Amino acid sequence: MKIEVGQRFRSRAAGPRNVWIVERLLNTPGAITHVTISREGAPRDTKTYSALALQDRSVFEPVIDKK
């Protein structure tokens, strides 16, 4: 799955299952792509993960918007 700015993911960790929004992609030559995410409703609460972590369904699940 390709990670893009604006995508939403839900943490699968125990406790509150917060929704996180992809804010930016951090690409550097020869390095693993990292992603900065912010918590929906609290944009100052940010975290940075490798893009692979967001693709790991045991850690995060994509939030599908119903239209």
d(CA 22, CA 34): 10
1 falls within a domain:
no
Q: What is the pLDDT of residue 67?
A: 54
**Could you tell me the pTM of the whole model?**
0.83
Assigned domain for 32 exists = yes
User: Would 37 be classed as within a structural domain?
Assistant: yes
67 in any annotated domain: no
Strand ranges in 1-67 using DSSP code E only, listed in sequence order = 8-11, 19-26, 34-39, 42-50, 60-62
Q: How many domains does the chain have?
A: 1
Domain of residue 14: give its range: 8-61
Is residue 17 included in any domain, yes or no? yes
> Which residue, 33, 39, 43, is CA-closest to 60?
39
Question: Is 48 part of a structural domain of the chain?
Answer: yes
Q: Is the dihedral of CA 46, 48, 49, 51 positive or negative?
A: positive
Question: Is residue 25 situated within a structural domain?
Answer: yes
pLDDT category at 16 given cuts 50, 70, 90 is low
Contact 10, 18 (CB under 8 A): yes
